[in-house]
Chains A and B, each alone.
Chain A
Amino acid sequence: MNPEMSLSAWIEGIGLIAPGLPDWTHGAAVLAGLEAHVPAPSVLPAPMVLPPNERRRASRVVRVALASGLAALEQAGMEPSGVAAVFAASTADGHNCHALCETLASRDQRVSPTRFHNSLHNTPAGYWSIATGAMAASQSLCAYDASFAAGLIEALVQIHATAAPCVLIAYDAEYPEPLASLRPIPDAAGISLALRPEATPRSMARLDIRLGDGPATRLGSPSLEALRTAIPALRGLPLLEALASARGGELDLEYLAPLSLHVTLSPC
């Protein structure tokens, strides 16, 4: 009820895949300024948790979501089958969307069943639960460029409601042309956070969030700042930068105008 109402959780694990930031270990060194950011295409590992057929056909959004989510849970020592998951993305699979729209504009409009179920916004969530056996609640949401902050809010609200762990899996991938001209996202990227309601020996930091209205915190490095604004899931990078440098403190993540998401990070 209080506008200053804040929600909290403990960060237990991080998954990161972004251009020039292949995983959290390397990404943390770059974000902390210990290593230079060398731009390179995102590396999306094949999802070994899926059966061979699905693995081969797994799209870039499915790959980035599964790989970053599993990395966060592995670091946290959390078994995926028992964890509620929040998937936040600005869109579904762009390549699949393009192929579907081309077919639907052609004389023979017949589409393949796989194309159809891969067109859903919650396709990565579906594959995630099939791959991990997780029957817990899973959420798939979208708030366009504000999807990272929206997902973080939903994850902390779920933890508040259930007092159970939750993993946030924020991801995005590109559209091919001609849609890329309308919605330019240069590459795939994902940030995942494994969260618990209480501290453990593995806890990296305590996270407190509340609605604010400050300008979004920017990144010092121009190439990292360019990534933050180019890929919606990477609007969460300032949080990871603060974690990487273990300095904690206060920051604002881009959310829906006129709001920001104000974050207080207290390293363990």
Chain B
Amino acid sequence: MRGFDCRNNRLARRGLAADGFEDAVRSRIAHHGVRRVGVVLGTSTSGILSTELAYRQRAPEGGPLPAGLNYPGSHSTYSLADFVRTWLGIEGPAYVVSTACSSSAKAYAAAARLIHAGLIDAALVGGVDSLCFTTLHGFASLELTSPEPCRPYDAARSGISIGEAAAFGLLERATGSLDADAVLLLGCGESSDAYHMSSPHPEGLGAQLAMEGALAQAGLSPADIDYINLHGTATLNNDSAEGYAVASLFGTRVAASSTKGITGHTLGAAGALEISISAMALADGLLPGSVHTLNLDPTVPIDYVLASRSAPLRRVMSNSFGFGGSNCSVIIGRAG
């Protein structure tokens, strides 16, 4: 961790080590060659906690920060991708996408474009966000944090529960012969609300554009989607805006739920985390229920899944929307 030690990069290292991912990725890097692999990761606050803590050690009248604060290895937005690229010995293109809560969904979209354009053959993608005072007090200032575990799409929802996560995937160009359980990235759609810095468009116009874009890129129609993993933050505005957008595109024909009742809102990591959850849903044939949601908001006419149940799933859409009106919708599917 020398040169990169901070809460966010430690979480990244734990995420890489989980589930045998790092060993599998190292063998694929060796296969493709270090310059043919890219790193595209999402984070909203990177390792800013290190700087926040350093400010607490300053003299009350100001003055320099304590020695030892390493800006490029912690606070810098790029620090996350820099650490992961260095840790794995990757020498291909890299950057961090930082578009608040859509960051790591957009990282998948961007990495797929890099592979498509032929610059690389594989990309380490994902997102990492960890607790810091900026988000804790920032969301509180907007009165968006819930006093209880968050209740997505509940009539009495009262805001988000902030979570931390590291979620990674390896994207590769699809080959001719694929295992039936292989997961394909079928399409991504991105849009901007052009409406407000910290509130979604009330009818979810930007969200709808992103979902339509993902369907168009995948060459699919709404009826082809079996489950939608919603952004579903449990704020009043998000769930109604997203709900209207989903209702107008899919009606009540497609099962949908938010899994943030289990994970909390992991901000810049949420997109990648929920793409991983969607991949697990495809693999296990499971519609994930919505933990902590008790009474559905009756004004949102969608087929919301309260309790987990088995269902054969072929294609899943995952939604991620961020402050600044940044929207991304990703569709993944089973190979067989």
Contact = CB atoms under 8 A, between A and B. Distances in A.
Interface of A: 1-3, 5, 7, 90-92, 97, 100-102, 104-105, 109-113, 115-117, 119-123, 125-127, 129-130, 132-144, 146-147, 150, 153-154, 156-158, 160-161, 177-179, 181-183, 211, 255-256, 258-259
Given A120-B323, A130-B325, A136-B191, A142 B95 contact: yes
A144 B98 contact: no
B163 interface: no
19 contacts: A5-B117, A104-B134, A110-B140, A138-B99, A138-B326, A141-B95, A141-B96, A142-B95, A143-B95, A144-B76, A144-B82, A146-B95, A157-B119, A160-B113, A178-B62, A182-B65, A211-B93, A256-B85, A259-B91
Nearest to B194: A129
B119 A123 contact: no
Contact of A258 (B76, B91, B323): B91
A111 B100 contact: no
B136 to A, nearest CB: 9
B264 interface: no
B203 to A, nearest CB: 13
Given A143-B96, A157-B113, A119 B138 contact: yes
B58 interface: yes
B250 interface: no
B238 interface: no
Chain B interface secondary structure, helix, strand, loop or mixed? mixed
B197 A123 contact: yes
A101 B119 contact: no
B205 A135 contact: yes
B52 A142 contact: no
Given A91-B77, A259-B93, A158 B64 contact: no
Contact of A117 (B64, B93, B133, B323): B323
A252 B302 CA distance: 53
A211 B35 contact: yes
A256 B97 CA distance: 16
Contacts of B81: 143
Given A133-B194, A139-B110, A91 B76 contact: yes
A1 B121 contact: yes
A208 B45 CA distance: 34
Contacts of B92: 211, 259
Nearest to A210: B119
B209 interface: yes
Contact of B58 (A119, A140, A178, A259): A178
Interface of B: 35-36, 44, 48, 51-52, 55-56, 58, 62-65, 69, 71-72, 76-79, 81-82, 85, 91-100, 106, 110, 113-114, 116-119, 121, 133-134, 137-142, 190-198, 205-206, 209, 213, 322-326
A179 B65 contact: yes
Given A104-B52, A142-B98, A130 B195 contact: yes
A92 B77 contact: yes
A112 B97 CA distance: 25
Given A126-B197, A135-B192, A211-B119, A182 B99 contact: no
B323 A140 contact: no
With most chain A CB atoms within 10 A of its CB, the pick from B52, B133, B192 is B192
A113 B198 contact: yes
A146 B91 CA distance: 14
Contacts of A143: 78, 81, 94-96
With most chain A CB atoms within 10 A of its CB, the pick from B69, B118, B196 is B118
Contact of B100 (A122, A127, A157): A122
A160 B133 CA distance: 40
Nearest to B327: A137
A116 to B, nearest CB: 3
B119 A119 contact: no
Contacts of A154: 95, 110, 113
A65 B114 CA distance: 25
Given A104-B133, A143-B95, A7 B117 contact: yes
